[in-house]
Structure 1
């Protein structure tokens, strides 16, 4: 059964649209939009432009002019929003990962116990990344090239995933500090996702749900019960995100 995730606050994940989305063209004329509306529209277009540019060229090779071209936004408008490429990357990363985490939280809350909630949150993560490959590449792979501040943001994000293990308790005799165990599980899941994204297999991420479910719950449920959890995964569910659209040629 397909699950459609509505964009939170009507804000799709960065990279789900093209920066030159015709619906966001700022039209000239006597009825000028308020300055804050123009700025917000340009910022959203720059988020999308940055994601597509970094995914295509890599962070190191992406230039501000490339991002502006992809977004249909002028360089002065870019620098009115961000101090430079690193600041734009950080803002886009924070914005996008906030959207993803909130979608995961919604899936977690919809379930009756932590194991189903954690599995639901993991499913959303895999489906959303698979649905927006450019964002997956930018946020999972290219974050490593974006500097120490970006890597600190990534580490903060991974620590935030502890919330999805609130009711989990390891089986004895596993005498490991709870946070260490959770961080190890999250780190292993993240490393597996990163490997797939870096290999260009982003759209196959949902296929990892059974094995990652097993890995995630085995320390708490034991191998036999974890195998049953993995076998119960519904591999037919798909999370849909806002589609990309054609680029017009105008620049504002």
Structure 2
């Protein structure tokens, strides 16, 4: 299997593909290839099997359905993206402040999507067409990215204790809003320009954090 997708970068998939013995690894990679080419609605088990170069019987020995295979492939891809963000942030210079680390994480996310058009289509568009379980997986992915913002903001609070950590729902809104802008850029055929959004998204995230500190929660207002 050549010209692999982001999913193949996951250790569990990559090891299986390298060994040429893991039919499951070949199938999750084949499913991403099929969905990227035809869209989730039109991609079939036969397409994934063809891309993986295994039999239909092999597919059903590994997965109960197209949905199950797709969801596993999607989770692997999200795990890789989150790991790349985390790795990029850890590689920043020790003297870097929280805003520089935040910017590094955002750029790593944008560069990953820009460099992985097949998984970008899966993550941004096709997952919405794959049913309720895929919708839940998409929500979980957004919360995973929200957790990365939380980590950056936690560092900010160490430097500026007057700030306030946004709520879980607010962080989800930030994560989802970022993806909506990315979706618009990709729909306009500008996937390769995603890294150009780094500075704008960093400014937005910083303003989001500072804005949270300026608003007194309802519970505190009621107690005053």
What TM-score range do you get, normalising by the shorter chain? 0.7 to 0.9
Q: Deviations over 1:111-161 (max 9, x none)?
A: 344322222111111111111101110122100001111111111111122
Partner of 1:76: 57
DSSP 3-state at the match of 1:14: helix
For residues 199-230 of structure 1, what are the alpha-carbon distances to aligned partners after superposition, in whole Å with 9 as ceiling and x for unaligned? 432222112112111111123358xxxxxxxx
CA deviation after TM superposition for structure 1 residue 175, in Å: 8.5
| CA RMSD of superposed structures (Å) | 2.9
Q: Where does 1:212-223 land on structure 2 (aligned, <5 Å)?
A: 212-220=201-209
**Long gaps (5+) in structure 1:** 1-10, 17-23, 26-32, 223-252
**Which protein is richer in helix relative to its size?**
2
Q: Within the alignment, does 1:185 sit opposite 2:180 as a pair?
A: no
Write the mapping of 1:75-224 to structure 2, written as runs, cut at 5 A. Answer: 75-111=56-92, 112-164=96-148, 165-166=150-151, 167=154, 168=156, 177-220=166-209
For residues 188 and 57 of structure 1, the distance between their equivalents in structure 2, rounded to whole angstroms, comes to 27
TM-score (norm 2): 0.75
Q: What is the rounded CA distance, in whole Å, between the counterparts of 1:162 and 1:86 in structure 2?
A: 25
2: CA distance between counterparts of 1:176 and 1:71? 45
Equivalent-residue separation in structure 1 for 2:109 and 2:194 (angstroms): 9
Q: 1:70 to 1:12 in 2, by over 3 A?
A: closer
| Native 8 Å contact 1:122 1:209 kept in 2 | yes
Q: For structure 2, which runs of at least 5 residues remain unmatched after alignment?
A: 10-16, 212-224
How far apart are the structure 2 equivalents of 1:180 and 1:130?
27
> Distance between the aligned counterparts of 1:177 and 1:107, measured in 2?
23
